[in-house]
Structure 1
Amino acid sequence: MDHPRLPHQTRTDAGLAAALRVAVGRLARRLRAQRPATLSLGQSAVLYTLNRHGQMTPGALAEREKVQPPSMTRIIAALEEHGLIHRTKHPQDRRQQLVDLTDEGRSLVRMDQRRREAWLARQLQELTPEEKETLRRATEILERLSQS
């Protein structure tokens, strides 16, 4: 497999930032292409957020996902219609609701994760051991960048 060298401009921080943005964006698009076609990106994001953080109010979900409350209301309604989430009354504030995954929603998230990881594992088989080690080190750095 031919491995093109990074362009000369990646030697500057700005050049590296541009190349990294493009590469990460392309990989993210390829991984998104592995997701279930029946769900929108917003719906998938809500399922993953609930899977990661547990039940939340619609307002907290909207804030975390950086969408307006009316948009979150539509996403929640669609996911509830698909049987992937359910709502319950908030135990401390009966005016509020909590949204959580159903067993079917959890199962869909697990299946989606396995499908994407299997696709990525197949792609990694094309790499040399040295390239895989570079990615292991880069993963730690990318994680640190994502948290800043």
Structure 2
Amino acid sequence: MLTKNQSQINLRSDAGLATALRVSLARLTRRLRRQAAAHSLTPTQFATLAAVERHSAITPGELAEHEKVQPPSMTRVIAALEERGLVTRTPHPTDRRQVTVSVTEAAQKLLKEERRLKEAWLSQRLKELTAEERSILRQAAPILEKLSRI
């Protein structure tokens, strides 16, 4: 169901669709962030932690490139996560000038709980939709994933 503002947007044009998606996805992201587990990580720290988990034993430079931030900024984020016991740095296996970053068991638990809370909240919201709306979302999910990777 479209909100009043969305119904005024011309969804037939690519520009209108882009506007509607931007607004809706930003709102959904904010609502999901409020479902966070009891931690005080910034969105950047949390995204970095999740990226380290996905790409275990990644270098800080690779991580900065992946997260689209400058290397000095990533160094600060990694230091904050390491100070909290969520990541560890180990010598790079082939390049003594570098280190790799990996998540700790505490980070794995935090990420698991965070995902559980967000998925529970989203599952409840999905139950409030009609079967047809859920079917449309099932079809849209791979397309949204594709957009997120372009």
Structure 2 distance, partners of 1:72, 1:144, is 26
Aligned to 1:65: 67
Deviations 1:82-125 (A, max 9, x none): 11000100010111111100111111111111111011011111
Deviations 1:57-101 (A, max 9, x none): 111111111111111111111101111000100010111111100
TM-score (norm 1): 0.92
Identity of aligned residues (%): 53
Against the structure 1 CA distance between its residues 108 and 8, is the aligned structure 2 distance closer, same or farther, given a 3 Å change threshold? Answer: closer
Which of 38, 46, 49 is equivalent to 2:48?
46
Instruction: Name the SS of the counterpart of 1:10 in structure 2.
Output: coil
Structure 1 distance, partners of 2:27, 2:9, is 20
Against the structure 1 CA distance between its residues 128 and 81, is the aligned structure 2 distance closer, same or farther, given a 3 Å change threshold? Answer: same
Structure 2 distance, partners of 1:144, 1:111, is 26
Structure 1 distance, partners of 2:46, 2:147, is 23
- Two-structure CA RMSD over aligned residues (Å): 1.4
The CA deviation at 1:8 is: 5.5
The CA deviation at 1:23 is: 0.7
Aligned to 1:25: 26
Instruction: Name the SS of the counterpart of 1:55 in structure 2.
Output: coil
Task: Within 5 Å, give how 1:122-141 maps onto structure 2.
Answer: 122-141=124-143
Deviations 1:16-74 (A, max 9, x none): 11111111111111112222441011110111101112121111111111111111111
Matched, 1:79 2:81: yes
Q: What is the aligned length?
A: 146
Aligned to 2:17: 16
Structure 1 distance, partners of 2:70, 2:17, is 33
Structure 1 gaps of 5+ residues are none
Structure 2 distance, partners of 1:24, 1:8, is 15
Matched, 1:107 2:109: yes
